[in-house]
Structure 1
Amino acid sequence: MISTLILTRNEEQDLPACLQSVACCDDVHVFDSCSTDNTCAIARAFGAHVHQRAFDSYAAQRNAALDTVPFRHPWVLVLDADERINPELWTEATAAVAALPLSDEPPVAAFRIRRHDHFFNRPLRHAQILSLYPRLVRLGRVRYTRAINEFLETDGETRTLRGSFQHYPFSKGLARWFEKHNQYSSMEAEIVADRAFRGEASLHTALLHPDFHTRHRARKAIFYLLPARPLVRWLYILVARGGLLDGTAGIAYATLQAFYEWQIVLKTRERLAASMPTHLVATHPTLPPAPAAAVATAAGSQGHLYREEALACDRA
């Protein structure tokens, strides 16, 4: 009735618990981004099917999985390795899918599921930016867009399940969280600096559009136009979402999220400054430039190494 898709990259620590939580599924697929640890071996030991593809973006990776993996069932539960489901959610999901008529027009394309984040061993009941995520999707009816913090475009209705799943973003410690969000903020800054999102910044759409995903895109576009975004995010989590009720864990989580937003702000400024015409940028004394031949040699060797790594993963 439902297949499971888990995206991974060096997830040997978290993957076993995730796979245990979907033991009731008879068709589990791990879509791996060229892990260098025991991720793939662990997945196979649990009986999961393993597929590999060199990573380029989160949306592209998810779309590639939905397009190329030979799923047994038309519905796919999409998870990350640091997430867990419970039997109650699985029972509800299978019942919801089974209840859909075969001639459903327009088709139901996805189901949103409530996510509960954990700050180390403390569940965050309020301090979350979003609470509902479209994670149960119908093959051929959905498409992911946006390189990071993806949007889901659907050809059909999106419904909501009552159950929830658990998310453990700090399972590998704070150092790993900072490392990942340093990468995420660079990807976000590239999107913000490009400013292509401005056409979606409609207050009317953000408030009144009937489609949940369209409203979410408009709200995110409006958010990127606001001044003092780190402070806005901090206050939103603590006050609007009630994060203060989570105590010190909620305050710590909100502060980390505000710092993440501040990284995006600074990296966006950096990218915009780098793209300015040279006559508008203040000049400063610099070291003599390296010879052009040396620069070309270094760049060529780095590109060669990266390409070889990607090809090696593609052949695996």
Structure 2
Amino acid sequence: MSAISVLILTKNEEQDLPDCLKSVAWSDDVHVLDSMSSDKTAEIAENFGAKVTLRVFDGYASQRNYGLKLPFKHQWLVILDADERITPSLASELKEFAKSALDHVAGARMRRRDIWWGRWLKHAQISPFYVRMVRVSRAHYEREINEVLVVDGDIAELTQPFVHYPFSKGLDHWISKHNTYSRMEAEVVAKGLFIKPDWRTALFGGDFSERRVHQKAIFYGLPARPLIKLIYMLIVRRAFLDGWPGVRYAILQAIYEYFIVLKTKEMQAAKGI
């Protein structure tokens, strides 16, 4: 066993959770923070030997911040969603990293591979890098939608990827989830809650997550965002190289952006803005 704890966040994940738990079987301290599932999620987690904590969901960042305060056995923590998997090669790298990391290093960033219809969306995936390993008590989340993990210390870059199946529950589930996300994004835009963008940070910032925050703030101010996003994904990022899954994913992302635009206008109209 490794000196690494694992946190998995769940809500009705009886379909995806077993494979996620199997992928972290190398850890002797697996925690599942469940948002009061109505299916067998908690039972499955307990059968795998995971420690289950039930909590009513009250927001993405707040739920994750609660999870970061659970009584973990080890100083290093890997954070996952149920539709994600740690590959054997990444597990080996995580173990070596936990043994050798210096005190000033408080987190590790790794690449996520999104899979749809058996195809890695190598080009279509917009944000492939995520901090998913942190020192316990030296990280917290900010921003409720597309939450940002803030780490107190340096962040190392790992080479091995983890795997994500965003469409594992079908297209209806993905659309339903992003319908909720688009409303939350629209609220941020309509209320002017996003940060004041800094072009220098957006282009040359040393931290990937910080660059992404400023890039998104700049993007919010652009006209015709859905069209820009579609062109960016298909032509600039060459999503077409991922085959039809890449093309269809680019179209879905443009539709998602259009939802944000329409809901923002609706909210502003309701307030007479």
TM-score (norm. length: structure 1) = 0.83
CA drift at 1:198: 4.1
- Counterpart of 1:24? 26
Q: In the alignment, which of 60, 63, 71 is matched to residue 62 of structure 2? A: 60
CA drift at 1:267: 0.8
Residue 175 of structure 1 aligns to a residue whose secondary structure is helix
Are positions 1:233 and 2:224 aligned together? no
- Counterpart of 1:180? 177
Distance in 2, Cα, partners of 1:175 & 1:196: 30
- Counterpart of 2:251? 255
Distance in 1, Cα, partners of 2:94 & 2:232: 31
Residue 197 of structure 1 aligns to a residue whose secondary structure is coil
Are positions 1:36 and 2:33 aligned together? no
Q: In the alignment, which of 146, 151, 155 is matched to residue 154 of structure 1? A: 151
Are positions 1:8 and 2:10 aligned together? yes
Supply the AA of the counterpart residue of 1:130: S
Distance in 2, Cα, partners of 1:194 & 1:77: 34
CA drift at 1:192: 1.3
**Correspondences of 1:221-300 after superposition (within 5 Å):** 221-276=217-272
Deviation digits for residues 3-30 of structure 1 (CA, Å, limit 9, x no counterpart): 1111000001111111111111111000
- Counterpart of 1:127? 124
Are positions 1:90 and 2:91 aligned together? yes
Supply the AA of the counterpart residue of 1:265: V
Larger radius of gyration: 1
TM-score (norm. length: structure 2) = 0.96
Are positions 1:76 and 2:81 aligned together? no
Distance in 2, Cα, partners of 1:272 & 1:198: 19
Supply the AA of the counterpart residue of 2:49: G
Q: In the alignment, which of 160, 167, 170 is matched to residue 167 of structure 2? A: 170
Task: Identify the range of structure 1 (18-27 vs 235-244) with the bigger mean alpha-carbon deviation.
Answer: 235-244
Residue 158 of structure 2 aligns to a residue whose secondary structure is strand
Q: Which runs of 5+ in 1 are unaligned?
A: 278-316
- Comparing both structures, which one devotes a greater share of its residues to helix? 1
CA drift at 1:87: 1.3
Q: Which runs of 5+ in 2 are unaligned?
A: none
Question: Any conservation in 1 of the 2:190–2:267 contact (CA below 8 Å)?
Answer: yes
- Counterpart of 1:212? 208
Distance in 1, Cα, partners of 2:208 & 2:244: 32
Q: RMSD of the alignment, in Å?
A: 1.2
Supply the AA of the counterpart residue of 2:243: G
Question: Any conservation in 1 of the 2:195–2:214 contact (CA below 8 Å)?
Answer: no
Are positions 1:194 and 2:191 aligned together? yes
Aligned residues: 271
Question: Any conservation in 2 of the 1:120–1:171 contact (CA below 8 Å)?
Answer: no
CA drift at 1:184: 1.1
Q: In the alignment, which of 45, 48, 53 is matched to residue 46 of structure 1? A: 48
